[in-house]
Amino acid sequence: MFKYILEGAGNINWMAIASLLTFMAVFLVSAMMAFRSKPAFIDKMANMPLDDSTPSFNAENDRHEK
């Protein structure tokens, strides 16, 4: 039965449909993770590049601020 359905739909680009479904799955999972995370965690991650309280790995080589 499935074989006859696929023969009738010969002009459908199956690779495009597979890539669209993959994109939608990744997008939905990432959106669910973003909406389920706590606002405090999101604020912490948003302020991370601006936070100078934690030492960087290259603190001894980073002399441009001194």
pLDDT tens track, the chain, 66 positions: 767 776 766 667 778 888 999 999 999 999 999 999 999 988 888 888 776 766 656 555 555 655
Q: Does residue 31 belong to any structural domain of this protein?
A: yes
Structural domain of 17:
2-49
Report the distance separating Cα 61 and Cα 21, nearest Å. Answer: 46
Q: Is residue 42 part of a domain?
A: yes
Q: Is 64 a member of any domain?
A: no
Taking the C-alpha atoms of residue 15 and residue 58, their distance in angstroms, rounded to an integer, is 45
Residue 32 lies in a domain: yes
CA separation for the pair 59, 47 (Å, rounded): 19
For residue 61, being part of any structural domain is answered with no
Overall number of domains in the chain: 1
Q: Is residue 58 part of a domain?
A: no
User: What's the pTM?
Assistant: 0.51
Residue 54 domain flag: no
CB 56 within 8 A of CB 62: yes
Domain assignment present for residue 20? The answer is yes
